[in-house]
Amino acid sequence: MKFPAFDYVSPTSLDEVVALLEERGDAATVLAGGQSLLPILAFRLAAPELVVDLKNVPGLDLIGVGSEGVRLGARVRWCDMEHDATLATAHPLLVAATRHIAHYQVRNRGTVGGSLALADPAAELPGIAVTCDAEIAITSGSGERVAKADDFFLGSMTTGLEPNEIITELRLPAWPDGRRWAFLEFARRRGDFALAGVAVFYDVDAGGQATGTHIGVIGASDRPRRLGAAERVIDGSGVGDEAIEAAAVAASEAVDPMQDFHAPTDYRRGLVKTLVERALKQAAS
């Protein structure tokens, strides 16, 4: 189908974008890589009066690595992250998860901001953001506000973003040396959205026990979630087989997977159990 008629602008500053969004409200929509917005327009699922292209806005494509953690500008693409040498050591979990996203062509265009704004419950980046207690910087005419990722995602394809707001940055806390981690997902074909996916990490204290365990899941609830019950099983343990099995059971009991034409609820619940078990074994090995 053809796009509906809309006006198109390509501002050259963030101030200009913000002014347009303040003026036009939900009649305007921003365009990042177009990987979802263009099909949405073509299928007439949205009909904005104005499309505001972010491609010429400076500063949104920066990847920053420092002692405070990793900062990803909203227009950073999957391929930028994949090929950034500093990120591989600064945040290996993030890079590992990114490699599961879509296909080569989509990874050349899809962006951090577009993924966070879409809030697909099976998307990798929102899952990493929630699992890692990341923050999302959001700009509007009133200035910048910072939302915790866990508060930002409200449900399937639903966020706390207002029509006059734009995501500018994702901020991930620093990743210490020696952290144990794994990211695993299951999709029907390589590059498809996952039926379910799991991110785990923990640090090891002087006594060899796990501490600060984070276990997050995608594709098994209406939004990415951390699984506190499973985390508590691992925390303070030596991450042996018994604790791993108990954490996997706790994880599968904590999720409330949707049923759709890809997989029934019980199948996704079983996947979560298997993926948590395998991810913890991988992290511990």
Ligand X SMILES: Cc1cc2nc3c(=O)[nH]c(=O)nc-3n(C[C@H](O)[C@H](O)[C@H](O)COP(=O)(O)OP(=O)(O)OC[C@H]3O[C@@H](n4cnc5c(N)ncnc54)[C@H](O)[C@@H]3O)c2cc1C
Q: What is the contact surface with ligand X in residues (CB under 6 A)?
A: 29-37, 74, 101-102, 106, 109-111, 113-115, 117-118, 123-125, 161, 166-167, 193
Query: Which of 35/213 has CB closer to ligand X?
Result: 35
Task: Name which of 152 and 175 has its Cβ closer to ligand X.
Answer: 152
Pairing of strands 180-186, 28-31: unpaired
Nearer of residues 113 and 244 to ligand X, judged by Cβ: 113
Residue 77: CB minimum distance to ligand X, A = 8
Closest distance between ligand X and the C-beta of residue 46, in Å?
7
Q: What angle do CA 113, 118, 122 make, to 5 degrees?
A: 110
Instruction: Using the minimum distance from each CB to ligand X, give the nearer residue, 11 or 33.
Output: 33
Nearer to ligand X, 24 or 247 (CB): 24
Q: How many CB atoms lie within 10 A of CB 84?
A: 17
Closest to ligand X by CB, 79 vs 246, is 79
* Residue 114 or 216 with smaller CB distance to ligand X: 114
Q: Compute the least distance from the CB of residue 206 to ligand X, in Å.
A: 38
Minimum distance from residue 176 beta carbon to ligand X (Å): 26
Residue nearest to ligand X as judged by C-beta position: 114
Question: Shortest Cβ distance from residue 159 to ligand X (Å)?
Answer: 9
Instruction: For helices 265-284 and 241-254, give the axis angle rounded to 10 degrees.
Output: 150
Are 81 and 63 in contact by the 8 Å Cβ rule? The answer is: yes
Q: Judged by CB, which is closer to ligand X: 73, or 257?
A: 73
Q: How far is the CB of 36 from ligand X (least distance, A)?
A: 3
Which residues, at least 6 apart from 171, have a Cβ–Cβ distance to it below 8 Å?
68, 69, 70, 71, 72, 134, 135, 136, 137, 146
**CA-CA distance, 200 to 125, in Å (whole number)?**
14
Closest separation in Å from C-beta 133 to ligand X: 19
Cα dist from 277 to 8, 218, 233, 274, whole Å: 49, 15, 12, 5
| CA neighbor of 246 nearest in space, from 210, 220, 222, 218 | 210
Q: What is the DSSP string of 4-39?
A: PP-EEE--SSHHHHHHHHHHHGGGEEEESS-TTHHH
CB of 219 to ligand X, least distance (A): 10
